[in-house]
Amino acid sequence: MYLVVFVTLVIAVLGTYTQVLAVEAARIASQQTSTAQAMLAWHTASISMATSVIQDSNYVTSYASAGCSLSIDHTTTIATCPPPVHVGLPTQTNGTVTNSLAGVTTSSFNTNMYFNHITNVRDCVHLPNTRFNGSACITTFDAKHYEFYSLLFRDSSTGVDYVVTYAAPATAGSAGSSLVLASGTQISLTGSDLFTQLRNMHVSSLSYGTFDGTKISGAAYAHYPAGISSIIPTGAVAVITGGF
């Protein structure tokens, strides 16, 4: 009799403890921001790169209207953005270094160098904790796995340049699908989860949204080139910044 009561009490306590753990785990999960932080860090680096790329006349004449990729890993239907120019030279010429973000290898997290049009010197991509070690730019940011898609384009109706950084759903258009990054890494977050993280970071609701096939719903308006509209998959979670 006493044993039955004891076992019943233990089961009740364990059940309550399990429920508390589940609630606490859900609370912690709802407050996470790590992936959103990585996405915004990548987006910031993309903007720093874009400010130099748009100085290149080749961008204006050949890439701006159709858009181009700032990420090394991207769909083959869009071109990689041209290298930024060294505007300190008498004649603007393309830099000899690549402009794309995250030129990583399997053994190191190297980023690439580019000409900074403000300082007119070669600079490292502005990912977190990046430094030049004498031969290459290295960073503690896990660019090998957390490489996001970043596109640069010019709004033909306003002449404003925009950078869009996004994570794609593994299944286009599926709201419950896990997200995939440009690196090929599939993360254990859905679009809704990433939205929650962006809200937790108090990012302006006008700067991010879901791509609905023609525009980033809820985000600042831009006229998207047809080439980009067909590249960003429906359901992708995107951050957009313009006028830099």
Compute the C-alpha angle 218/222/227, nearest 5°.
110
> Distances in Å between the alpha carbon of 6 and those of 1, 10, 11, 19?
9, 6, 9, 20
Q: Tokens 């991207």 appear where? A: 74
Say which residues have a Cβ less than 8 Å from residue 10's Cβ, sequence separation at least 6: none
DSSP β-bridge partners for residue 208: 239
Cα 168 to Cα 229: distance, rounded to the nearest angstrom: 13
How many CB atoms within 10 Å of residue 125?
A: 25
Cα of first residue to Cα of last residue in the chain, in angstroms, is 75
Q: What are phi and psi of 143, to 5 degrees?
A: -70, -25
pLDDT value, residue 26? 35
The alpha carbon dihedral of 100, 213, 183, 32 has a sign of positive
- The DSSP element (H or E) to which 197 belongs, if any, is helix 191-200
Spatial separation of the C-alpha atoms in residues 216 and 210, rounded to whole Å: 5
DSSP 207: G
Q: Domain-by-domain residue ranges, the chain? A: 56-242
Query: Which amino acid is present at 20?
Result: V
Task: Give the per-residue pLDDT at 142.
Answer: 79
DSSP state letters, 110-158: EE-EEEETTTTEEEE---TTEEE-SSSEEESS-TTT---EEEEEE-TTT
Low-confidence ranges of the chain (pLDDT < 50): 6-7, 10, 14-31, 89-99, 105-108
Q: What is the pLDDT of residues 96-155, one digit of tens each?
A: 344 456 555 444 455 566 666 666 677 777 777 777 777 777 777 877 788 899 999 999
In contact, 125 and 200? CB cutoff 8 Å? no
